Structure 1
Amino acid sequence: MPLARRLTLADAVAIGLGSMIGAGVFAVWAPAIGVAGSGILIALAIAAVVAYCNATSSAQLAAAHPVAGGTYAYARAEIGPWWGFIAGWSFVIGKIASCAAMAMTFAAYAAPAGWQVPVAVAAVVLLAVVNCFGVTRTALVTRILVVCSLLGLAVAVGFGFAAAPTASPTPLPDATVYGVLQGAGLLFFAFAGYARIATMGEEVVDPARTIPRAIVFALGGAVVVYALVGAVVVLVLGAEVIGSTAPLVDLLTAAGASAWTPVLRVAAAAASLGALLALLTGIGRTTLAMAREGDVPRFLAKIDRRHQVPQRAEIAIALIVIAIVLVADLRGAIGFSSFGVLLYYLIANAAAFRQTGRARRYPRVVQVLGALGCLVLVNTLPVFASLVGTAVVLLGVGYRVLRLRFTRA
């Protein structure tokens, strides 16, 4: 049973923005500046270029393969089932970690001390229920949350730039090449949400036209927002942002606008919820596509007839996210997520590189640049995150080997 095509261009752009303008813009500056130092804006530019290359590859693939599953489906069609499986598995494990990070960030802004974990769990449950009642409701809620987060960011940026001429920020640490690249890897975590659009290929109206446009529009909007926020944080706070758990709250305090911090906290909570909602939706669709092929249990492939969404997949993903929230921390979730997502886009670039004829929309050099960028950034991530990510990918590969062996026996 196919999914219903109900999402317009505006819906798809809102879902992409909801994924990118989420917890990252409120939380990523402290760790990113801590490693990139005075090269933070260079790191942002590198992350944006890699994200653009990956976005164009995703757009080119989505136009030729307008089905659910994103690069899992594209790589299966272009370079083979095993590459598709590794892409889909990397996406699912990386974005499950992202969901946990978003839930924890929401709770850090919205919950009183001691209540962060229960509130994070409640957020996952609530948004999983929203997803189970239909994708149009998902798009509507995402639009509302994106508007709330943008209003809060506008407050922070406005007061920050007003205070910048008289600010005396602490000088940033000197930049190193490795530090800048690691900062780019952390910032890439925040940009990766445009893939949510591609994974919903079966639910977008006129996908061959809508998906490429939505990806570019959403990514362009996110780059502008991140550039403005990053610049004002450097101009007002400087090195004081390192170690901060709520850098934009500290920005308002330094700008003499601490009375506006409740507004910012509400915006941060809204942004985190928007990203979490869109991420849960995208993971559910990729899980659906993998279940249809037997790469995860086929039990998860069932689509609810009334609401036309993969409810079993949505519920299973929500349960795993809750488990991670109960045992993990935010930094570990971000590093693990970046590992999985960069592998996913490495394969997306390889799949797009293989396309020929009318399917080609962008020069192959763009895909080469995107693949090289993914390889460089994934090798700058924290060692522990990379080791855990490698182990989980190998676990998935082992599962598929056993499944294929038993089904052929």
Structure 2
Amino acid sequence: MPLARRLTLTDAVAIGLGSMIGAGVFAVWAPALGVAGSGILIALGIAAVVAFCNATASAQLAAVHPVAGGTYAYARAEIGPWSGFIAGWCFVIGKIASCAAMAMTFAAYAAPEAWRTPVAVIAVAALAVVNCFGITRTALLTRILVVITLIGLAVVVAAGFATASEAAPAPLPDATAYGILQGAGLLFFAFAGYARIATMGEEVADPARNIPRAIVLALAGAVVVYVLVALAVMRTLGAHAIGSARPIADVVAASGWTGSEQVVRVAAATASLGALLALLTGIGRTALAMGREADLPRFLAHIDSRWQVPQRAEITIALIVIGIVLIADLRGAIGFSSFGVLLYYLIANAAAFRQRRPARRYPRLLQVVGALGCLLLVSTLPAVASLIGTGVVLAGVGYRMLRLSLAAR
């Protein structure tokens, strides 16, 4: 049974923005500033360029293959089953880590320390229920969350620029080439939300037209927001942001706008919820596509006849995320997620590079730059995250080899 095409261009853009604006703004600045130092804007620019190249590759592929699954489906069609499997597996493991990080980020802003774990679990369960009752409800809630988040970030930017001339921030560490590249790899985590639009290609109306436009519009909007917030953090906090668990809230506190601090906390919580909602949706669709091909258990390929969503996949993913929230912490989640997502987009660029006219919408040079950028950034990520990521990827490859071996008997 196919999924219903109910998402408009506005819905798709909102889901993309909901995925991107949240993770980076409220979670990535401290580790990125710690490695990139005064070169943070250069790192942000590199991450944005790589993300743009990857976005155009995803847009070009989605226009020709408007089905659920994103690069998992695209790589299967353009390169072969193994490439598709590795892309899909990297997406699933990377984004499951992102879901756990977003749930914990939400709880950090929304609940007292003693209640953060149960609140994170409740958030995952509640959003999984929303997803199980239809994609239009997901899109509507995402739009509401994006608006609230942008209002809160507008307050942060205004506070940061209003007080920049009143107090000199602590100078950031000097930049190094390696530090800038590692910072770009961490910041890439913040831009990866446009993939959520592509993974829902089977539910977007007029996908050949709307998916490419939605991806580019959502990415452009996110870049503008990130640049403004980065400037506000640098001009207000400087090096003090490196050791902060809540640098965005600290910008408002340092400005003296104490009455606005609660606004920022609400914005942080809603941004994390928006990102978590869109992430759960995208992973569920990729799990659905992989289940259809038996690259994950076929149990996950079921679509509910009433609500026309992959409820089994949604519930399974939510349970795994809850398990991670219960046993893990936020440290390393960004690096692990970036590892999986950069490999995912490396394969996306390779698949788009193979496309010929009339499928081509962008020059092959963009796909070359995107692929080289992914390789460069993934090589600079923290060693622990890369080692764990490599082990999990190899475990997935082993699972598929075993399944194929059993099927051949």
TM-score for both structures, normalised by structure 1:
0.99
Q: Secondary structure at the match of 1:171?
A: coil
The CA distance in 1 between the partners of 2:194 and 2:398, in whole Å, is 29
The CA distance in 1 between the partners of 2:395 and 2:30, in whole Å, is 32
Single out whichever of 138-147 and 19-28 deviates more from structure 2: 19-28
Name the structure 1 match of 2:29: 29
Q: Residue 23 of structure 1 contacts residue 268 of structure 1 at CA under 8 Å; is this kept in 2? A: no
Post-superposition offset of 1:259: 1.8
The CA distance in 1 between the partners of 2:88 and 2:401, in whole Å, is 15
Amino acid at match of 1:268: A
Report 1:305-324 matches (<5 A).
Answer: 305-324=305-324
Tell whether 2:197 aligns with 1:197: yes
Report 1:263-274 matches (<5 A).
Answer: 263-274=263-274
Report 1:142-181 matches (<5 A).
Answer: 142-181=142-181
Single out whichever of 327-336 and 191-200 deviates more from structure 2: 327-336
Q: Residue 132 of structure 2 contacts residue 314 of structure 2 at CA under 8 Å; is this kept in 1? A: yes
The CA distance in 2 between the partners of 1:249 and 1:288, in whole Å, is 38
Amino acid at match of 2:80: G
Name the structure 1 match of 2:341: 341
Unaligned runs of 5+ in 1: none
- Deviations for 1:304-328, whole angstroms, at most 9, x for unmatched residues? 0000000000000001101111111
Amino acid at match of 1:168: A
Report 1:349-360 matches (<5 A).
Answer: 349-360=349-360
Q: Secondary structure at the match of 2:165?
A: helix
Q: Residue 36 of structure 2 contacts residue 183 of structure 2 at CA under 8 Å; is this kept in 1? A: yes
Tell whether 2:399 aligns with 1:403: no
Name the structure 2 match of 1:85: 85
Q: Secondary structure at the match of 1:214?
A: helix
The CA distance in 1 between the partners of 2:180 and 2:23, in whole Å, is 21
Post-superposition offset of 1:118: 0.4
The CA distance in 2 between the partners of 1:282 and 1:27, in whole Å, is 20
Name the structure 2 match of 1:381: 381
* Root-mean-square deviation over aligned CA pairs: 0.6
Give 4+ residue runs of structure 1 displaced > 2 Å after superposition.
none
Amino acid at match of 2:179: G
The CA distance in 2 between the partners of 1:332 and 1:27, in whole Å, is 12
Q: Secondary structure at the match of 2:358?
A: helix
The CA distance in 1 between the partners of 2:270 and 2:215, in whole Å, is 22
The CA distance in 2 between the partners of 1:167 and 1:224, in whole Å, is 25
The CA distance in 1 between the partners of 2:112 and 2:57, in whole Å, is 42
Tell whether 2:104 aligns with 1:104: yes
Post-superposition offset of 1:165: 1.8
Post-superposition offset of 1:159: 1.3
Q: Residue 23 of structure 2 contacts residue 189 of structure 2 at CA under 8 Å; is this kept in 1? A: no
Post-superposition offset of 1:332: 1.5
Post-superposition offset of 1:23: 2.9
Post-superposition offset of 1:112: 0.8
Report 1:365-380 matches (<5 A).
Answer: 365-380=365-380
Q: Residue 233 of structure 2 contacts residue 251 of structure 2 at CA under 8 Å; is this kept in 1? A: yes
Post-superposition offset of 1:254: 1.1
Residue correspondences, number: 409
Q: Residue 67 of structure 2 contacts residue 201 of structure 2 at CA under 8 Å; is this kept in 1? A: yes
The CA distance in 1 between the partners of 2:22 and 2:314, in whole Å, is 20
- Deviations for 1:73-106, whole angstroms, at most 9, x for unmatched residues? 0000000000000000000000000000000000
Unaligned runs of 5+ in 2: none
Post-superposition offset of 1:26: 1.3
Q: Secondary structure at the match of 2:308?
A: coil
The CA distance in 2 between the partners of 1:23 and 1:262, in whole Å, is 19
The CA distance in 1 between the partners of 2:333 and 2:295, in whole Å, is 24
- Deviations for 1:128-181, whole angstroms, at most 9, x for unmatched residues? 000000000000000000000000000010111111122210111000011001
Single out whichever of 156-165 and 206-215 deviates more from structure 2: 156-165
Post-superposition offset of 1:331: 2.4
Name the structure 1 match of 2:283: 283
The CA distance in 2 between the partners of 1:339 and 1:329, in whole Å, is 18
Q: Residue 23 of structure 1 contacts residue 106 of structure 1 at CA under 8 Å; is this kept in 2? A: no
Name the structure 2 match of 1:61: 61
The CA distance in 1 between the partners of 2:90 and 2:23, in whole Å, is 21
